Amino acid sequence: MSQSVADWMTADVLTVTPDTPLPEAVQLLVDRKIGGLPVVDDTGKLVGVISESDLMWQEKGVEQPPYMMFLGGVIYFQNPATYERDLHKALGQTVGEVMSSHTVSVSANTSLPVAARIMHDKKIHRLPVVDADRHPIGIITQSDIVRAIAAV
């Protein structure tokens, strides 16, 4: 029988809210030596994740997308909406301004192979584990899955 996410997840999950100041969230990541935090709303429901990748915009900055002027108009070679989103992340001061809001999550009874496939396909390093009401009850990381493989 396949092991489930519940067998390997970290159940003592730390969360932040969209209003959490960014320096506070960064300090939590550093102090706890973790790469990401689930973000919950006022009711405790998962609304996003803030990760090291989201924070890279703070240091990297954003370059204006390439464009050309033609007949008095501007033609962008990349989507200007993407530039606006990236700029917002680079200048963000709260978790809500920087977090990834299109969060993938799993339930505790999800099998490890399914969780691994989701992480691989979505190119993410961690998955929040939620209950039926989308309240975080844990987090499973790529490292947890590797530990499970090693324990076989």
pLDDT one-digit tens code per residue, 122-139: 999 999 999 999 999 999
Q: How far apart are CA 114 and CA 128, in angstroms?
A: 14
> Helix H segments across the chain?
22-32, 52-60, 80-91, 95-98, 112-122, 142-150
Q: Record the pTM.
A: 0.77
Expressed in percent and rounded to 5, the helix, strand and coil fractions of the chain are 40, 25, 35
Among 81-90, 109-118, 137-146, which stretch is predicted with the lowest mean pLDDT? 81-90
Averaged pLDDT for residues 90-97: 77
Q: Where are the domains of the chain?
A: 5-150
Instruction: Please state, in angstroms and as integers, the Cα–Cα distance from residue 67 to each residue in 23, 64, 70, 75, 78, following that order.
Output: 34, 9, 10, 5, 8
Q: Is the pLDDT of residue 50 over 90?
A: yes
Q: 50 with 98: CB under 8 angstroms? A: yes
CATH architecture of the domain 5-150 equals: Roll (3.10)
